[in-house]
Every structure is written in C-alpha cells, then in structure tokens.
Structure 1
C-alpha cells in the first residue's frame, strides 16, 4: 500500500533538450510513429468497407479520399495541433495530466473528472495492445507481394519480431532512439515520393480536397458508408500521441514537424494511393506497396517493418509512462519501475507491464491472423479516448482559460460532434473484434476504481487507529522503560501529524527509541516534476523528533534516500549506513460486512498482495528497511 497523497502543485521547469532541430527530428521518430504507419492499412480497409465486396468505383475512391484528408485536417491539425496542445500541465500532456490539472483547479470536487481520466487511461492500454500487432502484421504482409510463397511464414515472422521487441525493452531505448528520427524521416520522405509518382499519372484525385465528395459518399452509401467511416479513422490513430508526448519534445517542435514533414507526406501518400486505384482497382489488396516499382518491394518491406517497430516502441514506452503516472496518482498499486537511462527522465521500464503487453499482443496476432481482421478491433479505444479528451478540454477552457460557457461550447462542440460520429461508426465493429479494447478498458477501469476506493478506506482506518504525534511525544517523554539507541530512524507515514503505526509497534514490542526520529511523508504533486530546491521541507519538533516532507511529481520515481540526502547540512547529517527506515506492511483482508461489494474487496485484497514492497518502490536499500506488519479488514 502506498502512503503517498496528493498535494497542491508547485511550479516546475520541464526538461528539454537544447536543439530545436533535434527536438523536431525526435518528434518525427517518436510522436508520429503510429500515425505515420497508418498508410500501410488505413486506405485499404476504408475502401474495402466502402465497396462491401463489390466493384470499386471512382466515386467511392474520391469520397473516401475526401474523408481521409478532412479527417487529418479536422482531428489532427485543428483539434490536436492547434487547440488541445495548448492545454498543458507545466509542459506535460496526456489524459492523466489533464485529470491532475483539473483536479487542482476544481479542488477535486468533481468526481466525474477522475472517472474521465481513468477511462481515458484505461482505453489507452487497449490501443497499446492493438498498435504493435496491426502495425507489424501490416508491414510483414508486404512479403506476399514479393513472393506468394512467403505467405505461411508471415504470422511466425510477425510474432518473432514482436517477441524480440518486448524482450529487449529492459535495455531501454536510449541506445537506438537516436536512429528513430532519421529512419522515420526517411520513411515519410519515401512515402511522399511514392505518392507523387502515382499522383502525377492522374491529378483528378485532387478533387477529393473538396469536402462535398466525402459528404456525398456518406449520404449515398448507408451502413457501408458508416463502416467505411470507422475504417477512415485508422488514418488518425496515434494522434493522441501528439498531446501525450508533448512533455518530451515541446509544443513548437511537434507542430513544426507536423506541418513541414508529416502532414504533407501523409497527404501525398494517400492521394497517390487514390490516383493509382482510380485506374487499377484490382490493387486494393495492398495499395501501399503497389505505389512502388517491383524492384523496390523488398527494401520497402524492410523499411516498413522498421517503421512499425518504432511505432510500436512509442506506444510501449507510452504505456510505461502512463502506468508510472497512474501509480503516483494512486490509481494502481506499486510496481517495480526501473530507469534505463541516467540522463533521460522519460526512459523507464516496468517488467510487469511489459510481459502483460507481450502476452496480449501475441494473443491478438494469433487470434486474428491478419491486419485486416485486426482493423475491426482498432479504432474504438482511440475514438473513446478522443471523446474524453474533448470533454476534459471543455473544462480546461472554462476553469483554466476562463472562457465563457458559450465560447467554450462553440469551439469544442464541432470536435465532440466529429468524435462522436467516428465513435458511432466504430461501434458497428463491436462484434467483429471491437469488443476487445472495450473489455480491456472496462477491466482496467474496474481495477483503478477499486484500488482508489480501497486505498481511501485503508487510509481512513489507519488514521483512525493512530494517535496525535504531539500527544504521543508528550506521553513518552521521561519514560524510563524505553531504551535509547544511537542512529536515525525514519518512519514513513501518510499523515505527518499522526504517530506512524510502525513507530508505535516498534516501541511496543522492542521498547526502543532512536537518538533521532524522522516522521516522513512522501507526497505526489499535481505537477509532472518537482525542482530539487522544492523537494523537501523539515520541521523540528524537539531534540529527538522532526517532521519531513518529500515531494515528487507524478512523472517521477520517488527516491527517498536521495531526497533525504538533499537535506544534508540543513537540519541534520544523513548517513545511510546509520539510518533505519521503518515501514508498515499492511495485510488486507476482505471484511464482512465490507464498505465495498464482495468482488471489489476481494479484488483489492489481491491487488494489495501483488503490489511491490514499499522499500523497493521508494528505493530504500533492503538492508536498511524494517517492515512492521499489520492487518486491516476492508
């Protein structure tokens, strides 16, 4: 169980690399990996749905092409690049970041904000599972065009690539991340060239820029038009990464990369595919790879595989970051979080998340067997997250930007309307695989709600059993039955004004009191990172007792010994070899009756068992940690 609580935010600078070009290139590699690999399958699935097994007509091509272009313009350019990226929490973005920002501004009175944040985070995991599976499969499937005999080897090869990708995660991406930007820059450049080569053969596809073609297509194709619209949304999967990764690269580099490189390359690639299909509808089987001459197919399969691995890496890293935020915000139990880089703050690895993701991804590849089948499962999680982001953006406009209700509604309503239309279109695919991300999201929502609710019950019961610290100190002063020993004892607690249970049990059973005793609270702020000079604060109670508070941002891994060492020379001299850390190990038992439903109390008790030790989470050396057990019925 974590003793961390949420406190009001303090300002913090955001870590940035110095070079603007480096940031822009890095954003091309990490931020745009997912959306950059969508041309491999998005237009193919959209037109396949539009034709519904019949003949592909020029009107269908122009209609779907119009929807693709305007989806990129409205959702990515207008909504995310120009509007949503303005809503940051000290430079950081993402669903949980929005939740933390709004919780502070609205003083946590609006429970719906927490539910929206948890729902957005839960749906992201569905996206994180499907993206590697569909991306890698769609790239490897290009081998069928090189040589049909490769067909039986596509599934094993895709699974082998994915296993290799997850197995090497523990090494971190710092060593290879420098190649991400150049490889993806080459990828976008080659896509643009392939598009231009085919676009030059028939410029009539440029008529698709007129939105009326898309509207006419939807009006005259009924259910098939809606299903095609759901597939069109595949072109913007990964758009949420623009916002979530803002803290790593900054708003301006991401925007510049979109307008200068990514959007032009995507538009040219899609237009090139459309121009080719106007004359060769039989190439709908895999229009992306048909953009290139036969001699270039094998190199393009290799480049596409590299691009999809990079796109998958970005989503996997995002899942690690989201999990770290969720743990710090009290939505998930403690897990082992390992840093893979001494210099990059975002480079972390969470073993438990890594292996669960791998199992889920391999299951999807084995169960669906092709990118076309997986496309049905894709989209619902992303559209759901986008609807949530739009709703939360409205509250940011009202509470943070102080816009009037009318202006905020006027700005955000068109985007919410578009998001809901895409969500309804994707809902038509629920029984074809769309239930998977909904099941994952629903399960994770239940986990987060259960952990948060159970943690509050535990905290309330713990505080109820503790006594006021000042009263406790007064009661033991002058006691002759207590032995005094040399050294420093640090007692972790969630309530600095109460006597930690570990202190009371140590005194009760061992009759020992250290020379110096520190009552330590670890607080998670509503900001991404806390500057070192604001990390700690200390209050001297008397010559034996002092209160200390360590503050960490929700994107930081709390290191208690390092934080205490930062007080060196200010209030006391800290020597790790002369310090003992006392923590409470709480054993959770389902109570009868319970404040939660039976299933929820059982789930919470099991989650508490799965949680990593507090000493490991707070980076306390094993040899210096003393855990005192206590049982709590929930």
Structure 2
C-alpha cells in the first residue's frame, strides 16, 4: 500500500525521530489513556451480555468473548488505525475534521455529503467526550467496594467530586500534569499485564481464544445474542479514535511503537487473565478486573486505576477543546473565547464554554445512570458512528490524495467499513437502554453546527447584495472631495475583492478617509498549519490603499498583531498607536420572510450574540478598535 504523499508529515516524523522513546512514553499517557481503562468494564459487560450472570460461566462463552476482543483490537486498532489511518494525515494532523479538510481539498470544493459526514463524526466525538469521563471514573471508584463495603454509599459522591475537581482545574492547563501522564499510564499498563499473567499461568488453556474460530463460532451460534455481545465487546476498542486524533502531537512512529510494544500486549494479557479467572472462579465475574489482584495490593491498584481514568478523561477533554477550535476555524461553529495555558506548547488551550458544557453533561450522566454498568449501554454508538465516518472519508482520501485507483481504495477500506457497520448495528440494539444518549448529544451538536452554517451563509448572501467591488470603488474615491485624517485605518473584509461594509458605512456617514487605508482579509487554509513565510500577502491597490491577506491553518489561532509584525518586515511601515481597526458588528433581526427554519434562525441568533468579538478572537488591541453596526434580517 503506498504511503500518502505528504511531505510535511514525513518532516514531522523525521523531527520526532530523535525523541522517539520520550514521545512514545508521552503517547502512552495521552493517546492510549482512554483505551487503557477499557479493561475495567469491557470484559465484564461482554460476559454479562452473553448471559453469564444468569446462566453461569461457560468456558465456550469466555473463549468466544476473548476471541472477539482479541480480533477487534487486532483488526480495528492495529490494522485500521495504527497501520493504515495514521498514513491519512493532513500535514501530520489527524482526526475527523482533519480528514474532512483533506477530503474536501482532494475533491476541490466542499461537497454537502462529505461535509455532512464530517459534521456527524465531529458531533459524535462530543457525545463520546461526555460519556468517557463518567464511565471511566465510576468504574475505577467502584473498586473501593471490594476494599470494604463501607465505601458503597460514597461511590457516587466520590466520583462526582473527582470529576468536578478535574474540570475546575482545567483553566490552569495540563502542562504540569502531562509530565506524569506517560509514566503513570506506563505503570498502569505494566500492572494490568502483571495481573493478567498471574492468572494465565494458572489456566494456560485460555490462550486458545487467540484462534478466531472461537469468535466466529460464538457470533454464528448465538443469533441475536451474538450481536448484543458484539456491542459490549466494542467497549474494548473505545479510544481507538484518540490515536488518530492525537497524531499531530506525537507523530506516527511514536504512536505505533507505543501501541505495539506496550499497550496492545498489556491489554491482551489483562483480558486473558480476566478470562482465566472467571473460568476458575465464576463468582469473580462481578468485578473481574479488580479480582485479579490480592487484597493486600487492591487499594493501591484502585488508586492507580483512578489516576488512569483521570488521565483518560483529561485526554478526551483536551481533544474536545482541539476539535472545537478546528470547527471554529473551519466555520462550523461561532468564535469562542480561547485561553492559552502554556507559553511553550501551542496546543495547550482552555475553552471556558466547552469546559462548562462538558462538566454539566458528565455530572448529569453520573447522577442519572449511577453505575458504570448502566452507562455501558450508552457507550459505543458514538465511537462506532465516528469510525464509520472515518472509514468512509478514508476511501476518498485513499483514492484522491494517495492516488490509488478507486476499486483499490474501496477494497482497502471496505472490509473495515463493513466491520464498523456491524459494530454500529450491534450497538444500536442498546438504543432503548441508554444508547439514545450519545445520539441525542450528537444530534444537538449537529443542530448547532447546521444552524450556524446555514445562518452564516444567509448573512453572507444578504451582505453580498450590497457589496461593491474594490476595483470599481477606489477609482471613484479619487474623484470625490473627501476629507482626510492622519493615521492608518484597517478594515476587516471577508472577501478581498469587495469593499468591507465598515468602509462603506464610514464613507456614507462620516465622508472621510484616512491617509492610509488597509483592506485586511483573514483566511483559514484547509491545512492544519501555515508556515510564517506563507502567512502574509500584500498588494498596493492605489495611493493610500493597500490590501493584506493573512492566512492561518485550521489548527492555529489567528493573531493579527503577530502577523502585522511580519508585514513590517515585508516593507509596510506603520505606527500602531496611529492605527485604527474598523470592524462591522452585525445586529441580527428575525425576518418575517423565512429563508431558514425559524427555530434554526433563533439558534443562530443566540450563537451569534454570544460569540467572542472579532477583536478578542483575532487578538486585536481593544484600544485601537472602532465598531460600526449593521442590521441583517435572518
């Protein structure tokens, strides 16, 4: 299979090569924290789904479930993600929206079907981001019940306290904690492996489950029950999307090395150890993970498990911030306030609105469902749905970007798409038991995105009706007797070919021009990052008029003052203290003529009113901003 011809990705991997081991250690914590906590509940829920809690533990069922888990990890995580999708990078970046941008660029324009798939994948990630902290922390804290039943009444309050504290410290950033993510999670994987090995040695026959025939026999021999168990088995691979989404932070090779050498072997050993344990002691099925360990070390293991679940939750929360920022840059969501929590790492950000929404959602899930087993029914649909989207978009990228013939691209990804669809269908069987929850969350996010896209397009089309081309306006200004004021005026324009509405309103009401007038357009590229040398485009339109186009990648945060420093180096001399940024501020009104559904128009208006001002988002000095209001009916 040919590699994606992406030079920046190769450069990234070369840059990472010198720090391969340190980056692999960091990836163990951030990338595999989520999937590394799946053994806490995945095997238990799969066995319960198989009916073991009612009809006793059958050896054939244990071998079948373990075989399904083994080959799910092998095919979905190892082959699909680690070996194939890590090559489908957008200048080193991965994830649903990066794949969307790559697919759109390869197609030459934004296609509605492709955009819809990207929106669905991104929205489902937010559903996953709400459920992961809830189920992970609950499953870890529930281990305290095995230490002493005195903890039983406090499982829920302790979980709520841990989750609340985790979200409340987000504003401080994760840089300090991140140093411990890798080592702590490495210890976690080693402890899981050791716990599994001890019981595998007691019953080495459990290794028969490596044979895929046990998986096939279980599914074909149990009818609908086989599908139900498949839905529970999928809990073992939740978190696989994280290794693709976080690829830009670590590079392909560290992620591959961490999986093959540490995460994958440790997970298999632990799952096989749980299987051997429940065959020998069926009573251990109540909580087979913690029963792997003797009472003497149970409390330290519970504490370590809690730390691992906090790390897994942190990775998902950080991923939600990054995904939201990408969505903003791709104009799928309104501007939101973003705070950088590290001067050294560009990716360390904090978004108060996203943090608050996630906290409320996670606490609501914990209080409503109460136990990790209850939440397990809600888990899986979001992840399987995202994987279906990823496999579909990957077909487009394999054909258009990698240059594979269409039949070859389809043949490459179709088996994984069919496997993902099978798991998705299996998880749909849990719809009434809680599976509706991630779909409801994703549906809400899709509604917000669709309302924003539709409303933004409508506003742009309304404003386009009164637009005047710059090449026709500027010559006319020279023939008019307009007053001139000293200094520089910078007008923000969405389209560099047309006069910004702020300029037109200024001419209409004040009838003055500054000595120097700059038409500034800020663009987002369909690549994650833009090199500084490609950041600025400048052109002189006429004496007193200059056009500047600034471009950032969708994974970057625009910083206008920083870009203006580059303009100085390119020859544009100006005094920032004699410069005014003149912006338009829209006032939206609900139109009596419906051009979009009324409820979506109201959602768009609320989002627009609460979006971060352009001056804040683009880091324009507040003391240099002048805003002119305009009214638009939607």
Asked if Structure 1 and Structure 2 have the same fold, meaning a TM-score greater than 0.5 normalized by the shorter chain, the answer is yes
CA RMSD, aligned part only? 1.5
Aligned residues: 625
Contact 2:585 2:630 in 1 (8 A): yes
Q: 1: distance between equivalents of 2:31 and 2:575?
A: 43
Secondary structure, aligned partner of 2:288: coil
Alpha-carbon distance, 1:11 to partner: 6.7
The Cα shift of 1:21 comes to: 1.2
Tell me, in whole angstroms, the C-alpha distance in 2 between the residues paired with 1:243 and 1:396.
15
Matched-pair contact (CA < 8 Å) for 1:35–1:238:
yes
Call closer, same or farther: CA 1:430–1:91 in 2, change over 3 Å. same
Whether the 8 Å contact between 1:491 and 1:517 is mirrored in structure 2 is: yes
Deviation by residue 1:222-246 (Cα, 9 ceiling, x = unmatched)? 3332211101000000000111111
Q: Which moved more, 1:293-302 or 1:460-469?
A: 460-469
Deviation at 1:92, TM superposition (A): 0.6
Contact 1:95 1:244 in 2 (8 A): yes
Contact 2:12 2:251 in 1 (8 A): no
Cα deviation code 1:583-625 (max 9, x no counterpart): 1111122222222122222221222112111111111121111
Offset of residue 219 of structure 1: 2.2
Distance 1:598 1:507 in 2: 34
Deviation at 1:10, TM superposition (A): 11
**Which residue does 1:199 correspond to in 2?**
200
Partner residue, 1:32: 32
Give the equivalent residue in structure 1 for 2:401: 400
Secondary structure at the counterpart of residue 199 of structure 2 = helix
Between the aligned partners of 1:191 and 1:555, the Cα distance in structure 2 is 35
User: Contact 1:488–1:578 (CA<8 Å) still a contact in 2?
Assistant: yes
* Offset at residue 283 of structure 1 (A): 0.5
> 400-409 vs 306-315, which deviates more?
400-409
Question: Counterpart in 1 of 2:225?
Answer: 224
Give the aligned partner of residue 156 of structure 2.
155
Equivalent in the alignment of 1:444: 445
Q: Which residue of 2 aligns with 1:558?
A: 558
Match of 2:84 in 1: 83
Aligned to 1:353: 354
Conserved 8 A contact 1:51-1:60: no
Match of 1:536 in 2: 536
**How big is the shift at 1:470?**
2.6
Gaps of 5+ in 2: 1-5
Moved over 4 A (4+): 9-18
CA deviations 1:1-38 (Å, max 9, x no partner) are xxxxxxxx997975966511111111101000000000
How much has 1:575 moved relative to structure 2? 3.1
In structure 2, relative to structure 1, the CA distance for the partners of 1:109 and 1:362 (3 Å cut) is: closer
CA distance in 2, matches of 1:405, 1:20: 35
Please say if residues 399 and 405 of structure 2, whose CA atoms lie closer than 8 Å, have aligned partners that are also in contact: yes
The 2-side partners of 1:472 and 1:404 are apart by: 49
CA distance in 1, matches of 2:406, 2:530: 33
Q: Is the 8 A contact 1:538 1:571 kept in 2?
A: no
- The reply to whether residue 492 of structure 1 matches residue 497 of structure 2 is no
CA displacement 1:23-80 (0-9 Å, x = unmatched): 1111101000000000001001000111262211111111101101011001001111
Partner Cα separation in structure 1 for residue 152 and residue 551 of structure 2: 55
* Aligned twin of 1:3: none
Tell me the equivalent position of 1:376: 377
Instruction: Name the SS for the 1:33 alignment partner.
Output: coil
Q: Deviations over 1:467-507 (max 9, x none)?
A: 12132222222533x32222111100111121111112122
Change (3 A) 1:11 1:459: farther
The 3-state SS of whatever aligns with 1:594 is coil
Q: In the aligned structure 2, how far is the partner of 1:479 from the partner of 1:66?
A: 81
Could you tell me which residue of structure 1 aligns to residue 45 of structure 2? 45
CA contact (8 A) 1:91 1:246 kept: yes
SS of corresponding position for 2:498: coil
> Is this contact kept in 2: 1:561–1:576, CA < 8 A?
no
Q: Note if contact 1:24-1:254 (Cα within 8 Å) is conserved in structure 2.
A: yes
In 1, Cα distance between the equivalents of 2:350 and 2:455? 27
**Could you tell me the TM-score, scaled by structure 2's length?**
0.96
Using the size of structure 1 for normalisation, the TM-score is 0.96
Counterparts of 2:579 and 2:25 in 1: how far apart (Å)? Answer: 46
Specify the SS of the correspondent of 1:288.
helix
Does structure 2 retain, via aligned residues, the 8 Å contact 1:102–1:396? Answer: yes
